[in-house]
């Protein structure tokens, strides 16, 4: 059986220019809910730009009129006007920064929650193929990396553009010849900045990929399980060297990102800073060869405007470069937002007034290849697009089963026979490739997610506990549960006494992934959590396979109490735990090889009997070490 690649992540699209207009329009749509506040920012920016342009004209009047004519009253008014201009510009700047930052942070919040909500809707198959660190990197690094762009770029763009336009108009009003001389090199500067922007965008894509690799390494190797594995295998130094190598690659990409086009942009700054000298030279040459004479006030005011044009022009060019870089980050976020959600809630879900717990599998087929093709949009299998997956590649083939309400079904078989996959179809962790799974006669695909989660409880072999208190972990199943309900559930799972003996009782932190508790205690906490939810259908996915015999007995007693009166599907590893099941099914290669009660299957002397003989070599029917002959075990 061929599974999807475990390290699958969406392949980034080629950052070609034809796609950029559509991407820019999509980015602008993110700001649409805040267009009222953005309009206010635009007005503040325009007012600030217009006020700041007035200062050189006031300076011209001071130099050409007020001082030469010794008009002290006019001089005082003009000086006061220049001071008020500076004050108003500063006030407008603070207000526009406050509003634009707030809008930018709201857009960041929308992106973060949008990606998180989208990932919550993705099927289990997506997470089995995607490294956790990759997912975290998209939310933290990629969205975090675009913070400056989202919070300040829009304001900077409008502000600088308004300043440039207002300044050019003012320069034309002073003298059109000097204006043309000042702007002669502007097209060249724009061309250079666009080249630099495209270069940085390519590097930014590589840099974010490398950051995702580092994030995945940290998540995997610095978790409790990763530390245990690394130290017990003596690979701590090797992991450190591997991390250092990946970090070294990131260093190179960061340096390239910061230095890309730096000399070209520096050259632009030098040239623009040299323009005032060229203007003085041009004015002198025009005067010397019979051209128009410029007053000192006009010339100083024009140079002041030109210097004022330098900052917003360079800022505009830099903003263009940054926007090109941020497009790579937006592209990675949009890749996640555009992932197809293959398991969706029905538009008009069926409502079950009460759940009896009858589960049926009707001609069920399932293939991970087909499931992966639905996720990624790629054709299933290795053939041409749309080709059907070969029957031998299917995990489940033509499974027909009926589990009456309140009865127990045990599913056994060799590793890879499809046991867990079959159970995961009931709560719709996966969807069938063909056939259907029903709950009380209703296809589970026609039921709402809330109905399914209330009706079906799952206790898996790998128990997951949050880094929170015992009470918070239990209340994850039922947030409104009272303290007495928590204690009752813990007693039913035979874990209350251990919790009560802890220094902080139910307020004890369980630690990362519950490593402060033993395997049996974590399993019983998981059972208590499921008991608190009280589902009518219970799925036990090898819930005791990793436990020692004594712990298994305690957990099994809790399971027996939990299973009473419920429809139970048990994925069995140790056959001693399922001998009392109403129905036992043996899966072989995704097909039902045998079915019946324990006694019936033993009498048939087929695959189940062979499994019992293998299991009976180490354990007896009561789970204790067995020193009887295998034939005695089979005779049972």
Give the confidence band of 401 by pLDDT, cuts at 50, 70, 90: very high
* pLDDT attached to residue 321: 63
Tell me: the pLDDT tens digits for 591-629? 999 999 999 999 999 888 888 887 764 444 333 333 333
Edge-to-edge strand order for the sheet containing 408-413?
456-460, 537-541, 567-571, 408-413, 583-588, 591-596
pLDDT at 272: 67
Query: From CA 506, how far away is CA 104, in angstroms rounded?
Result: 41
Phi and psi based region of residue 74 (left: phi greater than 0; alpha: psi -120 to 50; beta: remaining): alpha
Residue 81 near residue 54, CB atoms below 8 Å = yes
- What does the DSSP 8-state code read for residue 31? T
- For residue 123, give the nearest of 467, 420, 432 by alpha carbon: 432
Please indicate whether residue 534 or residue 374 has the higher confidence score (pLDDT): 534
Cα separation of 344 and 122, whole Å? Answer: 9
**pLDDT at position 228, please?**
56
Least confident of 41-50, 236-245, 396-405, 513-522: 513-522
Residue 319's pLDDT band (cuts 50, 70, 90): low
Domain ranges for the chain: 29-337, 359-379+393-463+537-635
Q: What is the DSSP letter of 344?
A: -
Scored b (16 or more CB within 10 A) or e, 123-143 reads bebbeebbbebbbebbbebbb
> What's the count of helices (H) and strands (E) in the chain, helices before strands?
25, 10
Residue partners of 627: CB distance under 8 A and separation at least 6 = none
Query: Which of 210-214, 240-244, 286-290, 334-338 is predicted with the least confidence, judged by mean pLDDT?
Result: 286-290
Look at residue 509 and tell me whether its pLDDT is greater than 90: no
Mean pLDDT of the chain: 76
Burial of 210 (0-12, 13-18, 19+ CB in 10 A): buried
Mean pLDDT of 552-559: 71
Q: What is the 3-state secondary structure of 57-107?
A: HHHHHHHHHHCCCCCHHHHHHHHHHHHHHHHHHHHHHHHHHHHHHHHHHHH
Report which of residues 195 and 532 the model is more confident about. Answer: 532
pLDDT for residue 4 is more than 80: no
Please answer whether residues 154 and 319 qualify as being in contact, where contact means their C-beta atoms are separated by less than 8 angstroms: no
Taking CA atoms, 591 is separated from 366, 395, 472, 481, in Å, by: 11, 9, 41, 42
Q: Give yes or no for residue 587 having a pLDDT over 60.
A: yes
In this prediction, residue 5 has a pLDDT band, given cuts at 50, 70 and 90, of very low
Q: Quick one: DSSP state of residue 13?
A: P
- The three-class DSSP label of residue 137 is helix
Q: pLDDT band at 545, cuts 50/70/90?
A: low
Mean pLDDT for the stretch of residues 118-141:
78
Beta-strand relationship, 408-413 and 434-439: unpaired
pLDDT at 619: 40
- Dump pLDDT digits (tens) for 512-525: 656 677 777 888 88
585 pLDDT tier (thresholds 50, 70, 90): very high
For residue 419, pLDDT beyond 80: yes
Mean pLDDT value of segment 201-210: 73
pLDDT at position 386, please?
A: 36
Taking the C-alpha atoms of residue 481 and residue 470, their distance in angstroms, rounded to an integer, is 13
How many C-beta neighbours within 10 Å does residue 464 have? 11
* Residue 623: predicted pLDDT: 38
- Residues in Cβ contact with 130 at an 8 Å cutoff, skipping those fewer than 6 apart: 7, 8, 9
- pLDDT score recorded for residue 437: 95
**pLDDT of 452-470, one tens digit each?**
888 998 888 777 787 788 9
For 435-488, the DSSP string reads EEEEETTEEGGGB-HHHHHHHEEEEESS----SSBHHHHHHTT-TT--HHHHHH
Which residue carries 């922007």 as its tokens? 197
What is residue 569's three-state secondary structure? strand
Q: Highest mean pLDDT range out of 172-181, 318-327, 434-443, 527-536?
A: 434-443
- pLDDT, tens only, 207-230: 767 777 777 777 666 665 666 556
> Which of the two residues, 416 and 584, has the higher pLDDT score?
584
- Residue of 213, 208, 212 lying closest to 146 (CA atoms): 208
What's the whole-number mean pLDDT along residues 90-114? 84
Separation CA 358–CA 350 (nearest Å) = 16
pLDDT at 596: 92
pLDDT-derived band of residue 20, with 50, 70 and 90 as boundaries? low
Is the pLDDT reported for residue 124 higher than 70? yes
Could you count the other beta carbons within 10 Å of the beta carbon of residue 549? 14
* Mean pLDDT, residues 324-330 taken together: 74
How confident is the model at residue 626, as a pLDDT? 37
Specify the higher pLDDT residue, 576 or 603: 603
- Hunting for tokens 């008014």 — which residue is that? 77
Is the CB of residue 59 less than 8 Å from the CB of residue 117? no
| Domain 29-337 and domain 359-379+393-463+537-635 have a common topology | no
Distance CA 99, CA 410 (A): 61
At which residue do the structure tokens 């200062």 appear?
55
Q: How far is it, in rounded angstroms, from Cα 581 to Cα 569?
A: 9
3-state secondary structure of 379: coil
First to last CA, the chain: 36
pLDDT at 189 over 60: yes
Query: What phi and psi, each to the nearest 5 degrees, are found at residue 485?
Result: -65, -40
CATH entry 3.90.1150.200 includes domain 359-379+393-463+537-635: no
For 29-337, the fitting CATH number among 3.40.50.300, 3.40.50.620, 1.20.1560.10, 1.20.210.10 is: 1.20.1560.10
Q: Which residue has better confidence, 78 or 633?
A: 78
Q: Check pLDDT > 80 for residue 376.
A: no
Least confident range of 27-36, 58-67, 169-178, 254-263: 254-263
Quick check: helix, strand or coil at residue 333? helix
pLDDT digits (tens, 9 = 90+) for 52-95: 777 777 877 888 888 888 888 888 898 898 889 888 888 887 88
Asked whether the predicted pLDDT for residue 406 surpasses 50, the reply is: yes
- Average pLDDT of span 320-339: 77
| Interstrand relation of 396-403 and 359-366 (parallel, antiparallel or unpaired) | antiparallel
Q: What is the CA radius of gyration of the chain?
A: 35
The partner residues of 460 in beta bridges, in order of sequence, read 541
Count the Cβ atoms, other than its own, within 10 Å of residue 614.
Answer: 11
Q: Where are the alpha helices (DSSP H) in 149-261?
A: 154-174, 176-183, 186-221, 224-232, 236-259
Task: Decide if 583 contacts 597 (C-beta within 8 A).
Answer: yes
pLDDT of res. 229:
59
CB 597 within 8 A of CB 609: no
CA distance 634 to 596: 15
Band (388; pLDDT cuts 50, 70, 90)? very low
Structure letter (DSSP) for residue 616: H
């Amino acid at each position: 059986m061929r599974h999807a690649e475990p390290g699958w992540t969406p392949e980034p699209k080629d950052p070609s220019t034809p796609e950029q207009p559509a991407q820019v329009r999509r980015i602008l749509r993110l700001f649409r809910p805040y267009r009222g506040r953005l309009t206010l920012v635009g007005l503040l920016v325009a007012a600030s730009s217009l006020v700041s342009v007035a200062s050189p004209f006031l300076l011209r009047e001071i130099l050409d009129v007020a001082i030469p004519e010794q008009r002290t009253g006019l001089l005082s008014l003009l000086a006061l006007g220049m001071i008020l201009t500076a004050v108003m510009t500063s006030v407008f700047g603070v207000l526009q920064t406050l509003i634009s930052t707030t809008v930018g942070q709201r857009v960041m919040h929308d992106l973060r929650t949008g990606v998180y909500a989208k990932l919550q809707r993705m099927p289990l198959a997506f997470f089995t193929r995607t490294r956790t660190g990759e997912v975290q990197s998209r939310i933290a690094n990629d969205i975090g990396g675009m913070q400056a762009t989202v919070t300040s770029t829009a304001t900077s763009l409008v502000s600088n553009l308004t300043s440039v336009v207002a300044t050019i108009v003012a320069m034309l009003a002073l003298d059109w010849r000097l204006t043309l001389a000042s702007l002669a090199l502007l097209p060249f500067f724009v061309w250079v900045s666009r080249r630099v922007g495209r270069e940085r965008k390519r590097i930014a894509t590589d840099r974010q990929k490398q950051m995702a690799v580092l994030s995945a390494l940290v998540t995997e190797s610095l978790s409790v399980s990763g530390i245990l594995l690394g130290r017990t295998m003596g690979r701590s130094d090797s992991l450190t060297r591997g991390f250092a190598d990946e970090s070294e690659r990131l260093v190179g990409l960061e340096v390239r990102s910061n230095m890309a086009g730096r000399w070209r942009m520096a050259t632009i700054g030098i040239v623009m800073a040299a323009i005032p000298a060229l203007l003085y030279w041009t004015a002198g040459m025009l005067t010397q060869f019979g051209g128009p004479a410029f007053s000192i006030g006009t010339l100083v005011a024009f140079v002041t405007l030109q210097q004022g044009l330098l900052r917003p022009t360079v800022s505009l060019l830099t903003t263009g470069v940054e926007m090109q870089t941020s497009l790579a980050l937006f592209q990675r976020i949009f890749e996640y937002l555009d992932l197809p959600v293959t398991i969706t809630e029905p538009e008009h879900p069926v409502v079950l007034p009460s759940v009896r717990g009858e589960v049926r599998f009707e001609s069920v087929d399932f293939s991970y290849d087909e499931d992966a093709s639905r996720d990624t949009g790629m054709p299933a299998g290795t053939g041409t697009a749309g080709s059907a997956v070969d029957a031998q590649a299917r995990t489940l083939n033509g499974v027909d089963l009926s589990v009456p309400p309140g009865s127990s079904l045990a599913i056994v078989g060799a590793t890879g026979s499809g046991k867990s996959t079959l159970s995961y179809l009931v709560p719709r962790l996966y969807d069938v490739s063909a056939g259907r799974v029903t709950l009380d006669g209703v296809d589970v695909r026609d039921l709402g997610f809330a109905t399914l989660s209330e009706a079906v409880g799952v206790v898996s072999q790998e128990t997951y506990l949050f880094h929170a208190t015992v009470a918070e972990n239990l209340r994850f199943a039922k947030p409104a549960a009272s303290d007495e309900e928590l204690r009752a559930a813990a007693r039913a799972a035979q874990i209350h006494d251990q919790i009560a003996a802890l220094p902080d009782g139910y307020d004890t932190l369980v630690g990362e992934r519950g490593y402060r508790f033993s395997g049996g205690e974590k399993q019983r906490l998981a059972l208590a959590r499921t008991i608190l939810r009280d589902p009518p259908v219970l799925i036990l996915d090898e819930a005791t396979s990793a436990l020692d015999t004594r712990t298994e007995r305690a957990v099994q007693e809790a399971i027996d109490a939990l299973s009473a009166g419920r429809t139970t599907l048990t994925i069995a590893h140790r056959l001693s735990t399922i001998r009392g099941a109403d129905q036992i099914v043996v899966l072989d290669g995704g097909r039902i090889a045998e079915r019946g009660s324990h006694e019936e299957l033993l009498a048939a002397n087929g695959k189940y009997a062979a499994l019992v003989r293998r299991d009976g070599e180490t354990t007896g029917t009561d789970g204790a070490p067995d020193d009887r002959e295998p034939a005695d075990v089979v005779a049972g």
